[in-house]
């Protein structure tokens, strides 16, 4: 009996300790000084386990980190930034972003600042600019690697925030880079019920997490990695990406161009911006020569939308379509549109190759150009696809009609059904084209 009472008391103590009201945006930042007397405010002794406490930091950053308050829990020191205009008396609930640091920011309990090296200052700027608002948590581990031992401590901090500080349990974002990137996605795999999204950057060994993918496939993941990374190597990153996607996961992968410097990306961005502006100016002068803007738009659509429609049609309804077929189909369709426009003349427009055929209106010319571009794209895509390797059916589920589960409709009235309405719209379109062609 006494043993049962002891266990019950221990459970109650742990539950109380796991949610202690110690966090405040007004907490001071105390800088650690090993020369001060042990047990003083600037050289404190580590609190006992199951006691959430205010803590110290060693100043390392060149920017002001005073809004990132210092705490410790069960040997895990961490920094936390409160949302702007935070008031615990209000009912507003705030999202939480946890950033797991990489191997270079490992530190002891009196460090408590190196983990702010990456992302913390940028996040603070975004919050101050009104782009996002919520809790930021930066835990620090004293050794390499993030595991469930540290995650259990993180969960205690989250429970405290939810109980006393109005955090939203449905909006937890895990993020990190390198070792911390793995920590972000590993946490999501172990605690999918807590995680709203995971944003790992270059997480090593992430491919080892796809074995239990069905348990956390509902968590959206934005996976970023570099082409020159060695850990993870690009092929290992692709294993995770492909496994998560094939499991039905919602994943977005950022893959940076190999062997390029930051200057390269900056120059390319500037060149593309200037080129786009110059192209828009030229386009404006071209549009000026048309009778009305609609004729000009129809001609542009015949070059762009005509071949694109053929690609979409085949891609959606023919699983044998390949990426090579789609590319060369679009290329051939666009060239066919240009040749057709160059051989036809309408209202003084076109005929720049040879005015072989004259059309009465610009609208009619646009329809003919679109028709030729569509046909050439359609045929070219089929031919090239037959000679190139298609993707496996498992990667096309949800993209190709024949491989996608069909919704069932139970409407009795014909005008509430999809097929009859579609046939009516198709018939009306054909009739109007015949009348006004």
Tokens representing 434 are: 């015949």
Given a contact cutoff of 8 angstroms between Cβ atoms, the answer to whether 207 and 240 are in contact is yes
Q: Which helix (H) or strand (E) holds 98?
A: strand 94-100
pLDDT value of residue 183:
96
pLDDT on residue 43:
96
What is the pLDDT, as a whole number, of residue 153? 95
List C-alpha distances in Å: 360 to 344, 345, 364, 368.
Answer: 10, 8, 7, 12
Name the residue among 277, 307, 431, 433 with its Cα closest to residue 381. Answer: 307
Q: pLDDT below 50 — which residues of the chain?
A: 1-18
Taking the C-alpha atoms of residue 290 and residue 292, their distance in angstroms, rounded to an integer, is: 5
Identify the CA nearest to 311 among candidates 381, 218, 225. Answer: 381
- What pLDDT score was predicted for residue 5? 45
pLDDT of residue 232: 86
How far apart CA 223 and CA 202 sit, in angstroms, is 8
CA distance 236 to 240: 7
Q: What is the pTM of this model?
A: 0.59
Cβ neighbours of residue 40 under 8 Å, at least 6 residues apart?
none
Distance CA 322, CA 420 (A): 32
| Residue 139 near residue 154, CB atoms below 8 Å | yes
pLDDT 10s digits, 63-109: 999 999 999 999 999 999 999 999 988 889 999 999 999 999 999 99
Residues sharing a CB contact under 8 Å with residue 230, sequence separation 6 or more, in sequence order: none
Closest to 255 in 3D by CA, of 287, 228, 218, 284: 228
Whole-number pLDDT of residue 13: 43
Tell me, what's the pLDDT at 257? 63
Q: How many helices (H) and strands (E) does the chain have?
A: 11, 14
Q: Indicate the Cα dihedral angle 259, 264, 266, 272, nearest 10°.
A: -110
In whole angstroms, give the CA distance from residue 230 to residue 327.
31
Question: Closest by alpha carbon to 225, among 248, 246, 250, 207?
Answer: 207
């Amino acid at each position: 009996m006494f043993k049962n009472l002891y266990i019950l008391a221990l459970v109650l103590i742990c539950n109380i300790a796991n949610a202690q009201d110690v966090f405040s945006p007004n907490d001071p930042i105390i800088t650690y000084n090993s020369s001060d007397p042990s047990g003083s405010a600037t050289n404190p002794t580590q609190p006992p386990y199951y006691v959430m406490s205010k803590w110290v930091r060693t100043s390392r950053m060149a920017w002001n980190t005073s809004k990132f308050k210092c705490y410790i829990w069960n040997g895990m020191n961490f920094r936390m930034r409160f949302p702007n205009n935070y008031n615990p008396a209000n009912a507003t609930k705030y999202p939480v972003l946890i950033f797991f640091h990489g191997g270079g920011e490992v530190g002891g309990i009196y460090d408590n600042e190196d983990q702010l090296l990456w992302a913390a200052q940028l996040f603070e700027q975004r919050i101050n600019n009104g782009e996002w608002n919520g809790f930021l948590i930066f835990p620090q581990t004293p050794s390499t690697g993030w595991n469930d031992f540290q995650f259990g401590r993180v969960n205690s901090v989250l429970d405290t925030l939810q109980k006393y500080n109005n955090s939203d349990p449905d909006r937890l974002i895990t993020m990190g880079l390198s070792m911390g990137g793995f920590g972000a996605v590993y946490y999501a795999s172990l605690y999918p019920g807590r995680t709203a999204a995971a944003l790992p950057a270059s997480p090593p060994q992430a491919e080892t997490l796809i074995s239990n993918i069905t348990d956390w496939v509902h968590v959206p993941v934005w996976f970023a990695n570099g082409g020159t990374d060695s850990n993870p190597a690009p092929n290992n990153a692709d294993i995770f990406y492909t496994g998560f996607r094939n499991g039905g996961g919602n994943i977005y992968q950022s893959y940076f161009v190999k062997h390029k410097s930051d200057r390269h990306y900056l120059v390319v961005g500037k060149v593309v911006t200037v080129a786009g502006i110059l192209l828009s100016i030229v386009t404006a002068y071209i549009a000026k020569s048309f009778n009305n803007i609609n004729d000009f738009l129809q001609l542009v659509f015949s070059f762009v939308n005509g071949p694109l429609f053929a690609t979409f049609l085949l891609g959606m309804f023919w699983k044998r379509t390949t990426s090579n077929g789609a590319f060369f189909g679009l290329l051939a369709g666009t060239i066919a549109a240009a040749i057709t426009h160059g051989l036809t003349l309408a209202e003084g427009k076109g005929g720049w190759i040879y005015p072989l055929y004259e059309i009465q209106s610009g609208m009619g010319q646009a329809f003919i150009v679109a028709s030729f571009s569509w046909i050439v794209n359609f045929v070219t895509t089929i031919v090239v696809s037959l000679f190139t390797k298609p993707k496996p059916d498992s990667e096309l589920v949800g993209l190709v009609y024949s491989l996608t589960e069909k919704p069932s409709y139970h409407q009795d009235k014909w005008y509430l059904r999809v097929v009859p309405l579609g046939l009516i719209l198709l018939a009306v379109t054909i009739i109007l084209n015949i009348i006004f062609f």
